[in-house]
Amino acid sequence: MKIKKISISALLCLSLMIHTVPYTNLPSVSARALESVSTSEKIPPDTSDYNAREIIVSYKHSVSADQTFRTLSKDKSTRVEAIDDNLFLVTAKDDSTLKEKLEEYSTDPNVASIQPNYTYQLLGQTSEPDYSKQWWTHNDGSFTYNSYFDYPIDTTSLKYSRYAKYNVTATSGIDINIEPAWSQFSNGRPVTIAIVDTGIDITHPDLQGIIYTNTAEIPGDRIDNDANGYIDDVNGWNFVDKNNDVTDYESSSEENDHGTHCAGIIGAGVNSTGIAGVASNTNIKILPVKVLGGKDGYGSTVDIVAGIKYAQKMGAQICNLSLGYEATKTNSSVDSILKKTISESNMVFVIASGNGDRNYNGINNDITPTYPASYDCNNIISVANLTPTGTLNASSNYGLKSVDIAAPGTCIYSTITENSYDYFTGTSMSAPMVAGGLAEIYSYYTDVTMLQASKILLETAKPVSALSGKISTGGMLDIYGALTRDSSTIIVDNNAPIIHSKITNLPNTYKKNLVLTVSDPDHDLSKVCYAKGEQTASYFASGSKGTRLIVLGNTATISKIDTTTTFTIYAIDNFGNETVLVVPVTISTPTSITLSASKKTLIVDKTFTLKAVPDIKCSITFTSSNKSVAKVNSKGVVTAKKQGSCKISATTDNGISASCNVTVKK
């Protein structure tokens, strides 16, 4: 079966802050086998993680989302917001209500998981443009910079703290080997990279022509023309302010620049203006997705999850997303909703490994993981910060098992707001460097999936002695090396998953189960979904449609089907091979029910058994119109209680009913 590319999005560097948890730089995760995400989470030991008394509640797929929303909305002690399908944000009015609701949701069998609405913060840093520019494109050893720029210092403090420490001279050859790659090819396959961050200054001269445009939307008509749930989202969406303004500042006093800086690193144009981005020679589009706001760049789980799902829906293939907090002994919470969103996405996520502890001392993510970069997902690439001298930046997180590759992230010159440029330092800069490199590889090799492109990127990393034993590849990004790799060594898996179906009858009912056996010849099955109706593979391609099935021992089941329905089963492996199987399930439902008596007279305290026989076997429910006159049990045994009359009804589980008139005498 034809290989289908897996969608992806670009990544930036953030930090999750939960009360006493120290600010950290983001760790990241190597490409690993995709794990099934458990949606069952226990309540954290206290309520301190529940910022602003907000709870994210995930209900099981079997529960009606509309009915759940109506039920939750009736509770006046909380405010409810529907996030996505069976996912809701519940805000308690006070601390006692918060505790009460946590206890209530934890015991509700319909609830899949509950968790806090975590708060995230970016960690991209900046300085004044005092030095020559893009050393990372061709490092001949002449670049010299002040060691002050080794540190990912807060923007504001840096502007008012200019003092020299000592100068550092670059080491020749420590670059991403991009110049020969630019000569190798141009254009190639189109790639859309989502920058899920603080927003992007889409008017910047150096970013013209590469900003994503939603052609299905008519600008300014205040109508959701493409029916995707977002009005006038011509160039992306702002999840912070709930509008289509995707710029990364709300006012001149709240400029952040972080998202715009990442955009320039990835794709600033070759246009005789400013700089050239890594993937400037390819056919790329950058999708701005704003999930962080204000000059300090804070954002929540809800906005980040919504932003990822939006990017996926709009067709992004790479996601630049660097968020995190350090998991410590006192706080080991995992943002399970974010993890589930990433693991189930068709995008590849390039994630910054993190900028160390609160003193900017790099952390070993193998020992102290930083999430979400340390999530064990095969669609994550984690990136460390390499200096111009070929050493790991002292503030960069590392990990032989948990961090994949290094890329330049120290003193990086790129676009910022108001048509300007500046230097930033941090793993936030390293991540878009790799995201751009991934776009290059995918554009060049027209017969590989995005996951295969990420594998090529990691396998062709250029060895750097200072990285040996620190990160899994022991090397740095080498784009030309990836493009000139021996093509015979690139393993192309064209074997699609295999799906078999069997319809089974359930005992004592007309309902049926659809039992599926799903396997993959190369043992790299990624996910299995289903949808009602006859669908094509493209229906599931965005990852936002279809209900995911849990596969245990190659078996998955759609249970208790009660109406004639056509199901489409979809399976995809880690190389993008897809299989679609359409299975019609015919259900014959009861149309009539015959009772052993249509009327009956009883003496008080006497009983009789009302037999009910449906035309098709099913379960029967017996009820009495007046239990004080006569009651009936689940087996149809009627007991007379007092003088009077009532109706005893027998009803099938699809609503077919018949009644017996009962008269009770003394």
CB-facing half-sphere around the CA of 211: CA atoms within 13 A: 21
Alpha carbon 606 to its chain centroid, in Å, reads: 63
Listed residue (464, 409, 284, 434) closest to 351, CA to CA: 434
Cis peptide before 590 (omega within 30 of 0): no
Cα separation of 663 and 666, whole Å?
A: 10
The DSSP result for 283-332, as a single string, is EEEEEEEE--BTTTTEEEHHHHHHHHHHHHHTT--EEE---EEE--SS--
Listed residue (258, 241, 205, 131) closest to 418, CA to CA: 205
Spatial neighbors of 564 by CB under 8 A, at least 6 apart, are 584, 585, 586, 587
- Going 588 to 590 to 591 to 592, the CA torsion angle's sign is positive
Cα separation of 291 and 248, whole Å?
A: 10
Listed residue (152, 250, 233, 251) closest to 194, CA to CA: 233
Question: Do residues 309 and 339 touch, judged by C-beta distance below 8 A?
Answer: no
Distances (CA, A) of 5 to 292, 351, 378, 448, 528: 29, 20, 15, 7, 16
Cα separation of 159 and 148, whole Å?
A: 12
Buried b (16+ CB within 10 A) or exposed e, 552-574: eeeebebeebeeebebbbbbbbb
Question: Do residues 483 and 279 touch, judged by C-beta distance below 8 A?
Answer: no
Question: Do residues 387 and 352 touch, judged by C-beta distance below 8 A?
Answer: no
CA angle, corner 293, sides to 291 and 298, nearest 5? Answer: 80
**3-class DSSP state for residue 433?**
helix
Cα separation of 165 and 140, whole Å?
A: 23
The residue from 258, 322, 333, 353 that is catalytic is: 258
Cα separation of 362 and 620, whole Å?
A: 66
The residue from 343, 428, 430, 454 that is catalytic is: 428
Side chain identity, residue 441: I
- For residue 233 the two structure tokens come to 């989202």
Active site residue 493: no
Cα separation of 241 and 169, whole Å?
A: 44
For 55, list phi and psi in degrees, rounded to 5: -120, 130
Place of tokens 């229906």: 539
The residue from 49, 175, 197, 520 that is catalytic is: 197
The DSSP result for 497-551, as a single string, is -EEEEEEEEPTTSS-EEEEEEEE-TTS-EEEEEEEES---HHHHTTSSSSEEPPP
Active site residue 428: yes
Catalytic (active-site) positions: 197, 258, 428
